């Protein structure tokens, strides 16, 4: 059985596998609990055969799911910066 998580704002379902893949695009490879500071390009979406808006929504949900922190996603003129305080700061460690 696949775990499915629903985006409360849009009602969009995401599987745990989708959240994991999306989080891997922006998480610190050395320690996933560190702050998130990444760049996402339209190529990341086309490479996965999804719309960029859908990928950014998945990334937002994935960061919240894994770290408990809410990311800021800003358009940097074609690419998108994704930043969040990360798990350690979100839990007060």
| Backbone dihedral angles phi then psi of residue 20, each to the nearest 5 degrees | -65, -45
Q: In what order do the strands lie in the sheet with 36-40?
A: 36-40, 80-84, 72-75
Q: What is the pLDDT of residues 9-54, one digit of tens each?
A: 667 788 889 999 999 999 999 999 999 999 999 999 999 999 999 9
Domain extent listing, the chain: 4-91
Q: What is the pLDDT of residues 45-60, one digit of tens each?
A: 999 999 999 999 999 9
């Amino acid at each position: 059985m696949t775990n499915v998580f629903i985006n409360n704002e849009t009602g969009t379902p995401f599987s745990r596998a989708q959240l994991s893949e999306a989080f891997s695009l922006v998480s610190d490879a050395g320690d996933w609990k560190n702050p998130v500071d990444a760049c996402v390009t339209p190529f990341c979406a086309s490479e996965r055969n999804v719309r960029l808006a859908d990928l950014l929504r998945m990334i937002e949900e994935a960061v919240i799911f894994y770290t408990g922190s809410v990311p800021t996603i800003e358009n940097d003129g074609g690419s998108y910066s994704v930043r969040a305080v990360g798990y350690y700061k979100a839990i007060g460690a």
